[in-house]
Amino acid sequence: MISKLINEIKKKNAPIVVGLDPQLGFLPKKLMKAGIREYGKSLEAVAAAVFEFNKAIIDATCDLIPAVKPQVAMYEQFGVSGLVAFRETVEYAKSKGLIVIGDIKRGDIGSTSGAYAVGHIGTIQVEGETFAPFDEDMVTVNPYLGSDGVKPFIQVCNENDRGIFVLVKTSNPSSGEFQDREIDGRPLYELVGEQVAAWGEESMDGDYSNVGAVVGATYPEQGRVLRKLMPKTYILVPGYGAQGGQGKDLVDFFNEDGLGAIINSSRGIIAAYTKSEYAKFGEEHFADASRQAVVDMLDDIRGALGSK
Amino acid sequence: MISKLINEIKKKNAPIVVGLDPQLGFLPKKLMKAGIREYGKSLEAVAAAVFEFNKAIIDATCDLIPAVKPQVAMYEQFGVSGLVAFRETVEYAKSKGLIVIGDIKRGDIGSTSGAYAVGHIGTIQVEGETFAPFDEDMVTVNPYLGSDGVKPFIQVCNENDRGIFVLVKTSNPSSGEFQDREIDGRPLYELVGEQVAAWGEESMDGDYSNVGAVVGATYPEQGRVLRKLMPKTYILVPGYGAQGGQGKDLVDFFNEDGLGAIINSSRGIIAAYTKSEYAKFGEEHFADASRQAVVDMLDDIRGALGSK
């Protein structure tokens, strides 16, 4: 799967991914009204609006980007209806040629992690029929439970040609509380990074592994260290834009081959129309604002990489 | 919420919780056939069988136990239909007076953790109407992202009188890979435990906090240390039965007041009918086998606690 993602990144010259993280406050009034007209004041109405919102953003940006990353929490907040919209979003994005990274941050023990893997990147047999429940291409995974929490995902990656990104150093302010604590003179995130590189050997796909890592854009120095520690690991980098990361901070997340990292922006793209820079588009043309925000993000990142 | 759980534990003299973790292999043929008759070979058919399975087990055990713990991974593996069964199970268990602990092990950054909290233990407003998406009473939370991943859950606990259990030392064989690594001479799980106790101060409810901890039955020595380190923290203890824990190993998870821990068994109860001990019940009477397994588990644990 990682080689497929790399091909798309190269083809579009775009090492970026758009985070589809809908919040009630971002949904244009017109879409909410249409949802309520059809389903009444309900979670179904919100879910319908969410899917229409995502669909318009996917349509407006799919020629520019290789992948989208729906954050499942933002769908779970709307209950079962939200997960219907999540499933529809995955399917629609794939129909437009995009790779879908489910930002699910799951992690549990043995057979339970296996069940998450089946649900999100695997298939399940019911009396001889095969079903792919949520059918993402790649997902994010939490490493706190150790190898027997992660390996069931790797097994499904190998069976189904899928990929994962394991949390190593997250983008949030308090990520250091546990991740930065020193063990034998080195921070925990480095040990997790080394383990990710070791797990990655079990699922190589070309020059890179289907087992990637998550390292926040807000921690460029740690990114530099981790880049060297995990040379064959693709790094998914959240925290660009709204969380404060900029193109110039991200250069060292990439390898010398110009590959090795994919930068996510969520609010900065999908809620672009709410920002003063893109206010001229107006709420009506929210998807055009998102497209312009993608163009600007690509300029920033290509510029930074060009000057590497 | 923790005081409500404690009341139920005292009333039933039962510091246990039944894990509702359905797997395809546990579902009696009769229930699967009924599902397929109604929905064809589909995930809907499986989900219908899962709900009937849970319902029968809840009916057969609800007078003996204070709580159930559905493991959401085992529902997510069946996609949206599985989550419908999860939602129905939560609702049905609550209608029978049981407290529902959603074993979801979620954890993300700021607003994203907030979205998980809203979806599982909170409420959401849509144009003035209030909805409780999944509506569990308590959930499990992963601490790897630090305070800003956990505090949004605590906020929702305080707003809605709900509770959480934060992963500290998990029951699986490889939990030590990261959790046992030494930081300033002490294992990571102790630092997480101290942090859980500190977070707990923000949500006290009687003698205990709405912020509990998860510590595996398979690590009784670590349980003993953590018990002392987190005196006001309720400990949810998985790993009894199928994973190897026994009543006598669990005594030190409890405080001197006889409270402070709740022991989970999943497969040992719900799949009791598949074990030689309970084979006499037969597949047809799987729920009676589950009831007998609860009675036996209670004997074991009460016996062990009585001899403390």
Burial of B83-113, coded b for 16+ CB within 10 Å and e otherwise, reads bbbbbbbbebbeeeebbbbbbbbbbbbbebb
pLDDT on residue A249: 85
Query: In this model, does residue A243 exceed pLDDT 90?
Result: no
A-to-B residue pairs, Cβ atoms closer than 8 angstroms = 214
**Over the stretch A116-129, which tens digit does the pLDDT of each residue have?**
999 999 999 999 99
| pLDDT tens digits, one per residue of A48-63 | 999 999 999 999 999 9
Check CB contact under 8 Å for A133 and B82. yes
Contacts of B219 in chain A (CB under 8 A): none
Rg (CA), chain A: 19
Quote the CA–CA distance of A223 and A217 in Å, as a whole number: 8
Binary contact (A167, B144; C-beta < 8 A): yes
Q: Strand, helix or coil at A168?
A: strand
Task: Tell me the sheet residues that pair with A165.
Answer: A140, A212
CA atoms of B6 and B10, how far apart (whole Å): 6
Residue A307: per-residue pLDDT = 65
Is A79 in contact with B46 (Cβ distance < 8 A)? Answer: no
Whether A209 contacts A2, CB under 8 Å = yes
Chain A residue whose CA is closest to B215? A145
- 10 Å Cβ neighbour count for B296? 16
State the nearest Cα–Cα gap between B32 and chain A, in angstroms.
Answer: 10
Does A191 sit within 8 Å of B145, measured CB to CB? no
DSSP secondary structure string for all residues of B226-273: HHHH-TT--EEE--BGGGSB-HHHHGGGS-TTS-SEEEEESHHHHTGG
Question: Of chain B residues 163-222, which have a CB less than 8 A from chain A?
Answer: 167, 170-179, 181-184, 188, 191-192, 195
Q: Quick: pLDDT tens for A73-107.
A: 999 999 999 999 999 999 999 999 999 999 999 99
Q: Is A33 a catalytic residue?
A: no
Q: What is the pLDDT of residues B155-168, one digit of tens each?
A: 999 999 999 999 99
Residue A37, pLDDT score:
97
pLDDT higher than threshold 90 for residue B241: no
Q: Which residue has the tokens 């899962």?
A: B50
The pLDDT of residue A308 is above 70 = no
**Contacts A105 to B, Cβ<8 Å:** 106-108, 142
Average pLDDT across chain B, whole number = 96
Residue B264, phi then psi, degrees to nearest 5: -100, 140
Does the structure show a pLDDT above 80 at B244? no
The distance of Cα B143 from the centroid of its chain, to the nearest Å, equals: 17
Q: For residue range A4-29, what is the model confidence (pLDDT) as tens digits?
A: 999 999 999 999 999 999 999 999 99
Q: Please say if the pLDDT value at position A168 is more than 60.
A: yes
Residue of B105, B275, B280, B308 with catalytic role: B105
A47 close to B (CB below 8 A): no
